[in-house]
Copies of this chain bind each other. A is one copy, B any other.
Amino acid sequence: MNNRTITIALDAMGGDGAPAIVVYGAKEALKRNPNLKFHFYGQQASVEPLLCEAGLHDDERCTLIACTDVVKNDDKPSNILRSGTKTSMAQAIRGVHEKQSDCVVSAGNTGALMALSMFTHSRIPGVLRPAIATYFPTIRGESCILDLGANVECDAQQLAQFAVMGEVFGSITLGLDRPSVGILNVGTESIKGHPEVRAARDILQAAEVLHDFRGFVEGTDISEGKIDVFVTDGFTGNLILKSAEGTAKLIAHYLREALANSLGGKLLYLLGRKRLLQFRARVDPRNYNGAVFLGLNGISVKSHGSADARAFANAIDVAADLTQYDLVSKIGERIGMLREAINSDKTMSAK
């Protein structure tokens, strides 16, 4: 299975450092996994010289597909759907839909990538709404979280589906057979929270389709890595992720100030530079790059817009793993099991 060739469509024009980070990210990913193939969707004049520079222009695993247009960071998703069919992003996603490639990676406009992915790929049968998932560092190792903003309002059925899709995502990205799954709430007692989280908990408990469902978990459990997959609505998930990124920046800022404001501090900084850089690498979001739209008949991976080549290579790895371990068909299978359980007597009382 590890020898399977995976073809990845790359939006070579998306992200602050594109197209260079895309080309060099692909080069780095190829070193780790020589069985990858890349379709670079981008403007020939800017991408071709980079492929030459990186020594990938005559690599048979790399193909350039020339596109005339580019999605800008401030383009509205609605405009993109109307007029963006010739953009590198739209063409790359279409390449997946037409089976020329297995999945797509883009560091471009998130809203556009979501809109184009939803428009191009149909939803997996039975999936109510797609969700955005990612993985992140914890004290224990790594965990996953969803939804990060695809759905600002979620009912109980949607949250229950997110738990099932998140379990599949977690099992692949974390390499676990039975990832533990929980629903984020303001407390772990069964009476806590609003009706939607309580009903989602009831559905999942009655349906018994998750391998290791832990009920409610709290905000402090996230960084502790108490469970493997954290489930929440897109409003809360987006704010948790962004505020945690902000907290990490704040602490780095304080640390820099503490070390810079005196001779002793400067000496300390010089002496400890290597150690501090190692520390920084562990909290660097580039090492946890790659958010995924779950629930569609196609794999679209979103890289941070500010990704460098190494971070982009990580997003490519995520896309390759999700393809290799059949994310789409596994989600279809598990969502089918959830729906069956809900339609049977099992969850009648929980509905």
How long is the Cα–Cα vector from A234 to B236 in the complex, in angstroms? 11
CB distance from A257 to the nearest CB of B (A): 8
Residue pair B254, A240 in contact (C-beta under 8 Å): no
A251-272 vs B, CB cutoff 8 Å, 1 = contact: the mask equals 1011101110010110110011
How long is the Cα–Cα vector from A245 to B271 in the complex, in angstroms? 29
Nearest residue, chain B, Cβ from A255: B279
Nearest residue, chain B, Cβ from A268: B272
Q: Count this chain's copies in the assembly.
A: 2
CB distance from A282 to the nearest CB of B (A): 5
Nearest residue, chain B, Cβ from A282: B254
Q: Which chain B residues border A255 with CB–CB below 8 Å? A: 255, 279
Nearest residue, chain B, Cβ from A277: B258
A232 at interface by CB-CB < 8 Å = yes
Residue pair A258, B239 in contact (C-beta under 8 Å): no
How long is the Cα–Cα vector from A268 to B272 in the complex, in angstroms? 6
A interface, over-half SS = helix
Residue pair B268, A282 in contact (C-beta under 8 Å): no
CB within 8 Å for A254 and B236 given contacts A186-B152, A193-B152, A271-B271: no
Residue pair A243, B240 in contact (C-beta under 8 Å): yes
Q: Which chain B residues border A267 with CB–CB below 8 Å? A: 271
Nearest residue, chain B, Cβ from A249: B223
Residue pair A247, B249 in contact (C-beta under 8 Å): no
Q: Which of A220, A247, A271, A275 has its CB near the most chain B CB atoms (within 10 A)?
A: A247
A139 at interface by CB-CB < 8 Å = yes
**In the complex, chain A residues 190-237 whose Cβ is within 8 Å of any chain B Cβ:** 192-194, 218-224, 232, 234-236
